[in-house]
Structure formats: structure tokens, C-alpha cells
Amino acid sequence: AQRVTQPEKLLSVFKGAPVELKCNYSYSGSPELFWYVQYSRQRLQLLLRHISRESIKGFTADLNKGETSFHLKKPFAQEEDSAMYYCALSGGSQGNLIFGKGTKLSVKP
């Protein structure tokens, strides 16, 4: 079955601390993995995708096919990073996204 698992509903860290949001997936083929972010009162927006291998707003994510993981990391969290983060996968082409349940990141001053 195709599935995305985000084990943490809420992650709370202090400003300047490292943060890692976990994502594991189950997919039989070669999926494309994404992280989407939703800031308070804003729409869902793409943060990064594994094929671009970019660092966006200091966040990085590496696809580990052996562990079927795509964890999101940032070395020094900022208060403005507080938001809801969703991991998602696509089977490629222009198919639909399969989302995890999301992790709420709270960065305290």
C-alpha cells in the first residue's frame, strides 16, 4: 500500500536548536518525495522536492531509499519556521500526491 507516515503530530523546539521532522514512506516503485508547508492563515505551499536537491529557507531533506525515509532538517530553527509541515509522495508523472498527517512545528523564543 502507498503510505506516508509522519510519526510526530507536534514538535516543539527552542530558537536556534536543530530540528528534524520525520517522514517515512511505503511505495512499490520509485516515488518522488515532497515537503509542503502551511503557515498560519496561508495556503499550502511547496517547500522542497527531493529531485531538486535544494536548500530552501535553510531546510534540507535527503531521500534514503534503504530506510524509505525523507526527513526534513534544519540546523538552527527560527521562530518564523513555526508552521504545519506535510510530507507527500507522488508516483511520478502528474499523478496525485499522497500526504502524511502532518507535523506541527513550534519554535519558541
Partner 1 sequence: GAGVSQTPSNKVTEKGKYVELRCDPISGHTALYWYRQSLGQGPEFLIYFQGTGAADDSGLPNDRFFAVRPEGSVSTLKIQRTERGDSAVYLCASSPGLAGGPSYNEQFFGPGTRLTVL
Chain positions contacting partner 1, by CB under 8 A: 4, 9, 32, 36, 43-46, 49, 51-52, 86, 88, 90, 92-102
Partners of 83 in the β-ladder: 105
CA separation for the pair 76, 18 (Å, rounded): 5
Q: 9-33 as b/e, with b when 16 or more CB fall inside 10 Å?
A: eebebeeeeebebbbbbebeeebbb
Minimum gap (Å) between residue 75 Cβ and partner 1: 26
State which residue, 4 or 83, has the beta carbon closest to partner 1. 4
Query: Do residues 98 and 87 make contact, with C-beta atoms less than 8 angstroms apart?
Result: no
Residue with smaller CB distance to partner 1, 19 or 102 = 102
Closest contact distance (angstroms) between CB of 41 and partner 1 is: 9
| Shortest spacing between CB 43 and partner 1, in angstroms | 5
- Comparing CB distances to partner 1, the nearer of 13 and 44 is 44
